[in-house]
Amino acid sequence: MTRDVDRRQFIHGGAIVSAGLLAGCTGDGDGEATTTGSGETTADGNGTASGDSDTTAGGNETAGGDETASGSGSTPSVALSVPSLEFTFFARMQNAFNEAKNQGNIADSSTFYDAGNNQSTQVSDVETAISNEVDLLMISAITAEGVINAIRQANEADIPVVAIDRNVAEGETITYVASDNVQLGQRSTELCLRFMEGSSDADSYSVVQLEGTPGASVTNERGQGFQQAVDENDSLQRLASQTGEFSTQDALSVMEDFITQYGDEIDGVFCQNDLMALGAHQALQNANMSVPITGIDGTEAWVERFSDNQYYGTLAQLPEDMVNTGIERGKAHLAGEDVEDTIVVDGLEVTQENASDYLDQYFG
């Protein structure tokens, strides 16, 4: 009897601990997806020549930076620390970094650090870089708070710091290079509107939104962009909005329910990431419907669908651009120029027209 009770108590306790652990795990996962923006994105980062990517992206800042760089003509040693190569997003950063090294944009002694998603490893990485007396430190922090001390040490050693993709909470940085999720949401929604206008002639268009994980900052920001697009375009109506948890299956189920409820009223679908766009596509295909779908991130599997459908699109995030912009602005700072506090790397609009170029360039 006692034994039985013990076992029950243990299982009971276990269940509570498990719930806690699970909550922890989920939280972690969300954080990842959130802060990276492209944690759930995928990409094989077969890094490409930085020059090329600038042209495609039409990144003004980067182009400007190029001139500056050639003007200063120095090659500083740079350290780049990223949270985890588990995410293709950061793997693409690594490739861009190596490419910059090969091209002589930065010194051969430049080092890339993968923190393996461990905050203390990242701090040690930064300390190592400081001991090596690098000229420029670029960092994508695992958590904004976790690296504060390391950033302070860099400040004391007079090493300029550039924050990439994820900002740091305190300490001096010369600039923060990242995507603007509000802008990405708005541009993707407006791309969807253009598609809807192209596919049918109507006075107003009804769009449904598939949101990310509720409460995540990326979800809120991209949702805000969607709302801005709806507010600013009179012909655009929000029909419904529901969370697809950034996941293909959830998006598929939600889209099926949207089709049941709204059917032909749906003129277009805006998804807060590309994995959900894949799910929406699947649901529409099963229902023998075809409406424009746009996503965000530039996930390979989604872009590969574009060849069949001219009304599919996405806004790709470009980690390569972030790295290159960071390097150029860092060099500009070293050359004594003023650098903006925040630099937005514009997402690249990918549609059927440039899909194969995009795939060749970033995933080839």
Partner 1 sequence: MSSSAVDVSVVRRRLTLMELSRYGPVIGLIGLYVAFTLLNDRFLTVQNQVNVLQQVSIIGIMAIGVTFPILCAEIDLSIAQVMEVAGLTMATLAVGARLFEGSALPVPAAILGGLLLAAAFGTLSGYVTARFGVPSFMTTLAVLFLADGLGLIVSGNRPIIGLPASLTGVGGSRVFGFPSIVIVFAVLLVLSQLLLSYTRFGLYIYAVGGDRTAAERMGIDVMTVRMGTLVISSLFAAVAGLVTLGRIGSAVPTMGAGLLLPPIAAVILGGADLFGGSGNMVGTLVGVLILGVLQNGLNLLGVDPAGQLVAQGIVLMLAVLANVLGRD
List contacts with partner 1 (CB under 8 A).
Answer: 3-4, 7-8, 10-12, 14-15, 17-18, 21-22, 26, 29, 40, 42-44, 86-88, 211, 214, 240-243, 245-250, 252-254, 256-258, 260-261, 275, 278-279, 282, 299-301, 304
Closest CB to partner 1 among residues 285, 342: 285
Closest CB to partner 1 among residues 8, 172: 8
Instruction: Give me the amino acid identity at 220.
Output: N
- Work out how close the CB of 15 gets to partner 1 at its nearest, in angstroms, rounded to a whole number: 7
Please say whether the beta carbons of 319 and 348 come within 8 A: no
- Work out how close the CB of 57 gets to partner 1 at its nearest, in angstroms, rounded to a whole number: 22
Spell 32-61 as b/e; 16+ CB within 10 A means b: bbbbbbbbbbbbebebbebeebbebbebeb
Closest CB to partner 1 among residues 88, 94: 88
- Work out how close the CB of 196 gets to partner 1 at its nearest, in angstroms, rounded to a whole number: 21
What are 338's two structure tokens?
Answer: 């003023």
Residue 47 phi/psi, 5-degree rounding, is: -50, 145
- Work out how close the CB of 31 gets to partner 1 at its nearest, in angstroms, rounded to a whole number: 13
Chain length of the chain = 364
**Cβ-based neighbours of 58, under 8 Å, separated by 6 or more:** 346
Closest CB to partner 1 among residues 176, 302: 302
Closest CB to partner 1 among residues 249, 310: 249
Closest CB to partner 1 among residues 108, 264: 264
Bridge partners (DSSP) of residue 243 are 211
Please say whether the beta carbons of 87 and 137 come within 8 A: no
Instruction: Give me the amino acid identity at 210.
Output: L
Please say whether the beta carbons of 244 and 295 come within 8 A: no
What are 256's two structure tokens?
Answer: 């099926």
Please say whether the beta carbons of 154 and 136 come within 8 A: no
Secondary structure (DSSP) of 155-200? HHTT--EEEESS--SSS--SEEEE--HHHHHHHHHHHHHHHHHHH-
- Work out how close the CB of 33 gets to partner 1 at its nearest, in angstroms, rounded to a whole number: 9
Name which of 141, 140, 241, 144 is nearest 185 in CA terms: 241
Closest CB to partner 1 among residues 76, 185: 185
- Work out how close the CB of 27 gets to partner 1 at its nearest, in angstroms, rounded to a whole number: 12
What are 326's two structure tokens?
Answer: 């960071």
- Work out how close the CB of 276 gets to partner 1 at its nearest, in angstroms, rounded to a whole number: 11
- Work out how close the CB of 315 gets to partner 1 at its nearest, in angstroms, rounded to a whole number: 18
Closest CB to partner 1 among residues 18, 235: 18
